[in-house]
């Protein structure tokens, strides 16, 4: 969108992507359950109605707008004289994108990906609806499972006595999510500083 799409088409596509980011996650969850899962069941006949694969695919679709419009903003903020210098040296548009624009916008694009990954890690509703909320530790995406956030929701809905194992486990789960997200953000800040020093 930043380099190839004409301005008039960009003015149509960018609001559509922003609108896709505004769709409630419950809608994405039912989309995964009622649309994506039946399609996947045609490919994998033994696939159960609740599975991690359809939830993961829909979360991937859900974070595309975040990555797309933040990366596009980072690429558009690259000064025009860098592009013009690349064209003046005989580079094609594709070479300019990969050798000039993307390296110059790398810190902004990295921030977009880290924000999107953090958003996906904290997602509850899509996984709760599409993956079945079953406490199943597995690497097989064809089986039902639940995320840490879905576990927190499920455990905290019941009557938990103060100080019980279940009560303490939701705090440990929340702390684990906090540590993962904080680590991703620290990595993003370090990466941005590293590439800004090179510029």
Structural domain spans, the chain: 7-198
Instruction: Specify the residue for token string 């039946």.
Output: 38
Backbone angles phi, psi at 92, to 5 degrees: -80, 175
CB atoms within 10 A of CB 170: 17
Query: DSSP secondary-structure letter at 51?
Result: -
Computed over its alpha carbons, how large is the radius of gyration of the chain? Answer: 21
Note the pLDDT of residue 110. Answer: 84
The encoded tokens of residue 84 equal: 């013009």
Q: Please tell me the predicted confidence (pLDDT) of residue 53.
A: 86
**Strand runs labelled E in 97-185:** none
pLDDT, position 175: 92
What kind of architecture, by CATH, is found in domain 7-198? Orthogonal Bundle (1.10)
Low-confidence ranges of the chain (pLDDT < 50): none
Structure tokens given for 64: 């595309």
Predicted structure pTM score: 0.77
């Amino acid at each position: 969108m930043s380099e190839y799409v004409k301005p008039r088409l960009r003015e149509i596509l960018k609001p559509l992507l922003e609108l896709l980011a505004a769709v409630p996650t419950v809608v994405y969850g039912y989309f995964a359950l009622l649309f994506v899962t039946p399609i996947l069941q045609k490919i994998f006949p033994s696939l159960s109605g609740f599975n991690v694969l359809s939830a993961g695919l829909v979360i991937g679709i859900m974070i595309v707008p975040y990555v797309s419009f933040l990366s596009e903003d980072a690429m558009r903020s690259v000064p025009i004289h860098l592009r013009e210098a690349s064209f003046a040296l005989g580079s094609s548009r594709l070479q300019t994108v990969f050798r000039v624009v993307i390296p110059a916008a790398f810190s902004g694009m990295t921030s977009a990906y880290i924000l999107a990954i953090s958003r996906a890690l904290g997602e509850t509703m899509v996984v709760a609806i599409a993956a079945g909320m079953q406490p199943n530790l597995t690497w097989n995406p064809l089986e039902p499972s639940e995320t840490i956030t879905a576990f927190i929701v499920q455990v905290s809905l019941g009557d938990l006595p103060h100080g019980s194992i279940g009560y303490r486990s939701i705090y440990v789960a929340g702390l684990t999510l906090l540590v993962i997200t904080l680590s991703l953000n620290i990595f993003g800040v370090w990466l941005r500083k590293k590439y800004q020093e090179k510029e």
